Amino acid sequence: AAGVIQSPRHLIKEKRETATLKCYPIPRHDTVYWYQQGPGQDPQFLISFYEKMQSDKGSIPDRFSAQQFSDYHSELNMSSLELGDSALYFCASSYDEGVTEAFFGQGTRLTVV
Amino acid sequence: GENVEQHPSTLSVQEGDSAVIKCTYSDSASNYFPWYKQELGKRPQLIIDIRSNVGEKKDQRIAVTLNKTAKHFSLHITETQPEDSAVYFCAEGMDSSYKLIFGSGTRLLVRP
């Protein structure tokens, strides 16, 4: 069965550089969530989109932005990267209005050096 | 505000014993409570969830109970096996929103 696809799987960037993470939800899923997970930490909610509109916002820095496109894939854009941005970034998707069963992608491991 | 407290942070049990993890939430509007299992370096995977219109749900060795009055819910794993060893996260959400707020996680170790 198709799952949530994230790319790239690994990314190494230098401080002050930019990074773009991509997420392709499960077909027919209309909601995408982005989470940041530091080592030994719980996933921290960043932002979500429902039907291509931003639906909820969490602890996403102003240096980050995201959007959901017409084909429902989503991109997380991260600028002026800092060492503290190093983390696993997960995308999850779900179907139907409101919060429901969310399936996670395999994550993108971002390392800022 | 949104907050989920999860206890214990670590739990070690003997194979075959039961394990119980508890979470407490603060927002009375929350009505969706999933549990995720995460192995090292891998994605969180949903193992069971419950909505506020039921008090208990069971799936083989896994069960979740919900006490709306006390605002807490628990994960119960019976007949634990070494492959149950992982980090378990509870989460809360509500139909009017599009986010899940996670607890801090419980590292479960099942000793053979």
Residue labelled with tokens 């370096």: B41
Instruction: Point out the residue among B32, B95, B101 whose CB comes nearest to the CB of A45.
Output: B101
Residues of B in contact with A55 (CB under 8 A): 97-99
Burial class (CB in 10 A: 0-12, 13-18, 19+), B40: exposed
Interface of chain B against chain A, CB under 8 Å? 32, 34, 36, 42-46, 49, 89, 93-105
Q: Peptide bond before A8: cis, by omega within 30 degrees of 0?
A: yes
Cβ-Cβ pairs closer than 8 A, A with B, add up to 64
Report the gap between the CA of B98 and the closest CA in chain A (Å).
Answer: 5
What band does B2 get if pLDDT is binned at 50, 70 and 90? low
Residues of B in contact with A49 (CB under 8 A): 98
Mean pLDDT across B30-36: 94
Residues in Cβ contact with B96 at an 8 Å cutoff, skipping those fewer than 6 apart? A98, B29
Nearest to A104 by CA among B46, B88, B40, B48: B46
- The answer, yes or no, to whether residue B1 has pLDDT greater than 70, is no
Each residue's pLDDT tens digit, B55-105: 999 999 999 999 999 999 999 999 999 999 999 999 999 877 788 899 999
| A7-16, B1-10, B93-102, range with greatest mean pLDDT | A7-16
Instruction: Point out the residue among A33, A42, A45 whose CB comes nearest to the CB of B103.
Output: A42
Residues of B in contact with A90 (CB under 8 A): 43-44
